[in-house]
Amino acid sequence: MAKKNTVIYIISDRRSGSTLLENILSRSAEVFSVGELAMLHGHILKKGPGERWNWTCSCGDPVDQCVFWGPVLQKTWQQNQQDFNSNISWNYKSKKLLSVALLPFLFRNKLLDITGSARNKNVQPTLDSLYKAIFAEAGKTFIVDSSKDPLQALSIYRGKRDYHVKIIWLKRDMRATAVSKSKWKELNVKKQKSIGKILTDVFYYRRLSLAVTGFVKKEDLLKMNYEAIALNTQEQLNRLTNAFGLDDYKAPEYMFVENDHTIGGTPNRFSKRPIVYDEGWKKEFSNRKLLYWIGGLLNKF
Ligand SMILES: [Zn+2]
Distances (CA, A) of 130 to 46, 104, 201: 19, 30, 31
pLDDT value for 116:
95
Q: What is the mean pLDDT of residues 51-68?
A: 93
Give the residue among 202, 268, 217, 207 at the shortest CA–CA distance from 20: 268
Q: Report the distance separating Cα 164 and Cα 230, nearest Å.
A: 27
pLDDT value for 193:
85
Q: What is the mean pLDDT of residues 148-157?
A: 97
pLDDT value for 92:
84
Close Cβ partners of 87 (under 8 Å, ≥ 6 residues apart) = 38, 39, 41, 42, 123, 149, 152
Amino acid at 245: G
- Between the CA of 48 and the centroid of ligand 1 the distance, in Å, is 19
What is the percentage of the chain residues whose pLDDT exceeds 90? 81
- Between the CA of 62 and the centroid of ligand 1 the distance, in Å, is 7
pLDDT value for 271:
74
pLDDT in tens, 6-41: 999 999 999 999 989 999 999 999 999 999 999 999
Q: What is the mean pLDDT of residues 172-194?
A: 83
Structural domain boundaries in the chain: 6-93+111-174+220-290
Q: What is the mean pLDDT of residues 166-177?
A: 97
Residue 266 CB neighbour total at 10 angstroms: 13
Type and span of the H or E element at 148:
strand 142-148
- Between the CA of 134 and the centroid of ligand 1 the distance, in Å, is 13
pTM of the entire predicted model = 0.95
DSSP state of 285: G
Q: What is the mean pLDDT of residues 128-145?
A: 97
Q: Report the distance separating Cα 290 and Cα 184, nearest Å.
A: 23
Q: What are phi and psi of 32, to 5 degrees?
A: -115, 120
Instruction: Could you please state the CATH topology (level 3) that the domain comprising 6-93+111-174+220-290 is classified under.
Output: Rossmann fold (3.40.50)
pLDDT in tens, 203-234: 999 999 999 999 999 999 999 999 999 999 99
User: Residue 258 above 80 pLDDT?
Assistant: no
Q: How far is CA 283 from the centre of its chain?
A: 27
Q: Across the chain, what does the average pLDDT equal? A: 93
- Between the CA of 9 and the centroid of ligand 1 the distance, in Å, is 20
User: Residue 260 above 70 pLDDT?
Assistant: yes
- Between the CA of 49 and the centroid of ligand 1 the distance, in Å, is 17
User: Residue 189 above 90 pLDDT?
Assistant: no
Q: Report the distance separating Cα 33 and Cα 38, nearest Å.
A: 13
Q: What is the mean pLDDT of residues 159-163?
A: 94
- Between the CA of 259 and the centroid of ligand 1 the distance, in Å, is 8
- Between the CA of 60 and the centroid of ligand 1 the distance, in Å, is 6
